[in-house]
Amino acid sequence: MLNNSPEDVKREKKFYPDIEAIVGKIFNVNEERNIPLPSTEMPSLSELATFMELLRSVFFPGFFGVGGLGHESTRHRLVSDLDHIFRLLSEQIRLGICFSSYEENGDPDDICSKCGDMALDMTNDFLNRIPDISDLLDSDVLAAYEGDPAAKNKSETIFCYPSIHIMTNHRVAHELYKLSVPVIPRIISEMAHSRSGIDIHPGAAIGEEFFIDHGTGVVIGETTIIGNRCRLYQGVTLGALSFPKDADGNPIKGLPRHPVLEDRITVYAGATILGRVTIGSDSIIGGNVWITSDIPANSRVVQSQSTSPASTDKLSGDVSGE
- 17 within a domain of the structure (yes/no): no
pLDDT-wise least confident of 85-99, 105-119, 205-219: 105-119
Contact by Cβ (8 Å): 145, 154: yes
Number of domains in the chain: 2
Provide the pLDDT for residue 318: 46
pLDDT of residue 12: 61
- d(CA 205, CA 3) in angstroms, rounded, equals 59
Judged against a pLDDT cut of 50, whether residue 185 lies above it is answered with yes
Residue 304 pLDDT level (bands cut at 50, 70, 90): confident
**pLDDT value of position 67:** 74
179 and 236 housed in the same domain: no
Residue 319 has pLDDT above 50, yes or no: no
| pLDDT number for residue 144 | 97
pLDDT of residue 307: 64
Residue 14: pLDDT band (50, 70, 90) is low
- pLDDT over threshold 90, residue 66: no
DSSP state of 303: P
C-alpha–C-alpha distance, residues 95 and 112, integer Å: 9
Question: How much helix, strand and coil, in percent to the nearest 5, is found in the chain?
Answer: 45, 10, 40
* Mean pLDDT, residues 260-281: 97
Amino acid identity, residue 87? R
Answer for the pair 181, 93: CB distance below 8 angstroms, yes or no.
Answer: yes
Confirm whether 254 is domain-assigned: yes
Q: Does the structure show a pLDDT above 60 at 316?
A: no
Last residue within a domain, chosen from 197, 228, 252: 197
**How far is it, in rounded angstroms, from Cα 232 to Cα 214?**
9
Instruction: Check whether residue 92 and residue 57 sit in a common domain.
Output: yes
226 and 103, same domain (yes or no): no
109 and 69 together in one domain: yes
Which region, left, alpha or beta, applies to residue 270 given φ > 0 means left and ψ of -120 to 50 means alpha? left
Mark whether 57 and 135 lie in a shared domain.
yes
Final residue belonging to a domain, choices 143, 169, 197: 197
82 & 118 share domain: yes
Region 176-194: mean pLDDT is 97
- State the CATH number of the domain containing residue 118: 1.10.3130.10
Looking at the structure, do residues 127 and 225 belong to the same domain, yes or no?
Answer: no
- At 72 the pLDDT is 84
Q: Which domain holds residue 113?
A: 38-197
Residues 173 and 235 in one domain: no
Would you say residue 81 lies in a domain?
Answer: yes
Q: Is residue 256 situated within a structural domain?
A: yes
Residue 123 has pLDDT above 70, yes or no: yes
Is 26 or 309 the better-scoring residue by pLDDT?
Answer: 26
pLDDT for 11 = 61
Q: How confident is the model at residue 174 (pLDDT cuts 50, 70, 90)?
A: very high
pLDDT at 322 over 60: no
Out of 16-20, 94-98, 215-219, 281-285, pick the least confident.
16-20
User: Which pLDDT score is estimated for 111?
Assistant: 59
